[in-house]
């Protein structure tokens, strides 16, 4: 299907033939003209769409589409005993899954390196930003607390899954309603009222912005899967609404100068505003519909 999509581009045939044979040359010829094969400018993000609360079996859910990339996040809350080290805290357990369904590059079986690295990244971001205070998840100090299983699943892998994951996670957390729990004084057993639910308090609204470096020098934002494989380095910047940075994640690759990094950070802050607006708009329309 991807070969067919090339054909609508109004370009000379000589250019078309080389996409499969020489993808790097193909991309370079676009970047020279300050644009990209999908018609975007270098710093442009793909259209982002958001759908909140579509999964009724989950306590909170969101589906994000970033161009073709699709991530669904479902949050399930369960009860558990807190750890001895942190008796007044709950757990947040994020996991990213890249099933063979989302791209032909993934095989069935346990998560591969990319999925594991993404899970760790999301876990780190949650911990660094304190998007949710784990203290809020405590029910009975030292005895009972909530575990939020945040399962992120990729349904269509077309690059930049980290950005989509962070948006999906934030939107799903905003959508999460936890049932009320009271501890029975006599039996000291928890009693759950599934009808009465409360909203989680979101302390930080984080948004991530990812970039790729092409040929050691050209910076592009929101890379597609093809651009990711051809580029020489990736960078993800996570910011919160106070313009503080929660993560500057660059797992290796070619070097990046300080000025370039500054550029990425300022682009990330504008992206933060865009996504904030989007989430607020969708959340508002969901509330209205209820």
Partner 1 sequence: MTPSACDKSAFSTMEVCGSLTVSLREFGCEQSLLSRPDGSASFVQGDTSVMAGVYGPAEVKVSKEIYDRATLEVLVQPKVGLPSVRERSQEQCVRETCEASLLLTLHPRSSLTLILQVLHDDGSLLSCCLNAACMALMDAGLPMSCLFCGVTCAISTDGQIITDPTAAQEKESRALMTFAIDSAKHSVLMSSTKGSFSVHEVSGLMTGKKECAPFQTNKTVNAKPKRPDVTNRLH
Partner 2 sequence: MTNSPCPHPDNKPFSGQPEKEKTWGGKRFRAGPVAWVIYFNMPTDTKRVRGPEVSQSPSLFSCDPAAVLPSKGPRADGRRRDQVDVRPVFVRCGLVSQAKGSAYLEAGNTKLMCCVYGPRETDRKDETDMKCGRLTTDMRFAPFSCPERGSWIQGSQDKDFSLMLHESLQPAICLHKYPRSQIEVSVMVLENSGSVLAHAVTCASLALADAGIEMYDLVLGCSMRQDGTSYVVDPSYMEENGCSSVSCENQGGLTVAFLPSLNQISGLQSDGDMTEETLTAGVRTCIEGCYKLYPVIQRALTKAVRKAAPSQSES
Binding site for partner 1 (CB under 8 A): 113, 116-117, 119-121, 123-124, 127-130, 204, 232-233, 235, 240, 243-258, 261-262, 265
By CB under 8 A, tell whether 290 contacts partner 2: no
Residue with Cβ nearer partner 2 (110 or 258): 110
Chain Cα centroid distance, residue 252: 20
Residue with Cβ nearer partner 2 (174 or 267): 174
Query: Among residue numbers 119 through 178, which ones bind partner 2 (CB under 8 A)?
Result: 119-120, 123, 147, 149, 151, 153, 155-158
Choosing among partner 1, partner 2, none, which partner's interface includes residue 244 (Cβ < 5 to 8 Å by kind)? partner 1
Choosing among partner 1, partner 2, none, which partner's interface includes residue 8 (Cβ < 5 to 8 Å by kind)? partner 2
Between CA 183 and CA 161 the distance in angstroms is 41
Nearest alpha-carbon partner for 289 in 80, 52, 30: 52
Choosing among partner 1, partner 2, none, which partner's interface includes residue 230 (Cβ < 5 to 8 Å by kind)? none
Nearest alpha-carbon partner for 70 in 101, 94, 43, 41: 101
Q: What is the DSSP letter of 35?
A: B
Choosing among partner 2, partner 1, none, which partner's interface includes residue 255 (Cβ < 5 to 8 Å by kind)? partner 1
The CB-side HSE value for 269 (13 A sphere, CA atoms) comes to: 9
Query: Mapping DSSP to helix (H, G, I), strand (E, B) and coil, where does residue 112 land?
Result: coil
Length of the chain equals 290
Between CA 249 and CA 241 the distance in angstroms is 18
- Residue 51 pairs with which residues in a beta bridge? 63
Closest approach of partner 2 to the CB of residue 193, in Å:
6
Among 189, 257, 287, 290, binds partner 2 (CB under 8 A): 189
Tell me the site size for partner 2, rule CB under 8 A.
62
Alpha-carbon distance values, 105 to 70, 159, 211 (Å): 16, 12, 21
Among 15, 101, 117, 261, binds partner 2 (CB under 8 A): 101
Residue with Cβ nearer partner 2 (195 or 259): 195
Closest approach of partner 1 to the CB of residue 103, in Å:
17
Nearest alpha-carbon partner for 36 in 208, 224, 233, 163: 224
Q: Where does this chain touch partner 2 (CB under 8 A) — which range of 111-119, 163-171, 256-264, 269-277?
A: 111-119
Tokens of 43: 């710093």
Closest approach of partner 1 to the CB of residue 265, in Å:
6
Closest approach of partner 2 to the CB of residue 24, in Å:
20
Between CA 236 and CA 270 the distance in angstroms is 14
Between CA 17 and CA 160 the distance in angstroms is 26
Beta-strand pair 144-156/91-97: parallel
Tokens of 116: 């594991």
Q: Which residue has the tokens 């300022």?
A: 266
* Binding-site ranges for partner 2 (CB under 8 A): 1-2, 4-5, 7-8, 54-58, 61, 68, 70, 72, 74-81, 83, 91, 93-95, 97, 99-104, 108, 110-111, 116, 119-120, 123, 147, 149, 151, 153, 155-158, 179, 181, 184, 187, 189-195, 225
């Amino acid at each position: 299907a991807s070969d067919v999509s090339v054909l609508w581009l109004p370009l000379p045939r000589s250019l078309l033939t080389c996409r499969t044979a020489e993808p790097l040359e193909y991309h370079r010829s676009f970047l020279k003209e300050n644009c990209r094969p999908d018609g975007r400018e270098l710093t442009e993000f793909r259209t982002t769409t958001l759908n909140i609360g579509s999964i009724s079996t989950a306590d909170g859910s969101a589906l994000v589409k970033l161009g073709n990339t699709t991530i669904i996040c479902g949050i399930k809350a369960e009860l558990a005993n807190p750890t001895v080290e942190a008796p007044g805290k709950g757990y947040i357990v994020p996991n990213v899954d890249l099933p063979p369904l989302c791209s032909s590059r993934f095989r069935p079986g346990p998560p591969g390196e990319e999925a594991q690295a993404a899970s760790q990244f999301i876990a780190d971001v949650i911990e660094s930003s304190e998007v949710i205070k784990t203290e809020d998840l405590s029910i009975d100090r030292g005895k009972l607390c909530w575990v939020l299983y945040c399962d992120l699943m990729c349904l269509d892998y077309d690059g930049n899954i980290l950005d989509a994951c962070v948006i999906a996670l934030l939107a799903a957390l905003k959508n999460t309603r936890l049932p009320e729990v009271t501890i029975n004084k006599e039996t000291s057993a928890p009693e759950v009222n599934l009808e009465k639910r409360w909203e989680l308090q979101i302390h930080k609204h984080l948004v991530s912005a990812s970039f790729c470096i092409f040929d050691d020098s050209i910076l592009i934002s929101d890379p597609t899967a093809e651009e990711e494989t051809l580029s020489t380095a990736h960078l993800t910047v996570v910011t919160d609404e106070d313009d503080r940075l929660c993560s500057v994640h660059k797992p290796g690759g070619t070097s990046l100068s300080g000025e370039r990094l500054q550029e990425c950070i300022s682009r990330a802050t504008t992206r933060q505003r865009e996504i904030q607006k989007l989430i607020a708009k969708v959340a508002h329309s969901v509330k209205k519909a209820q």
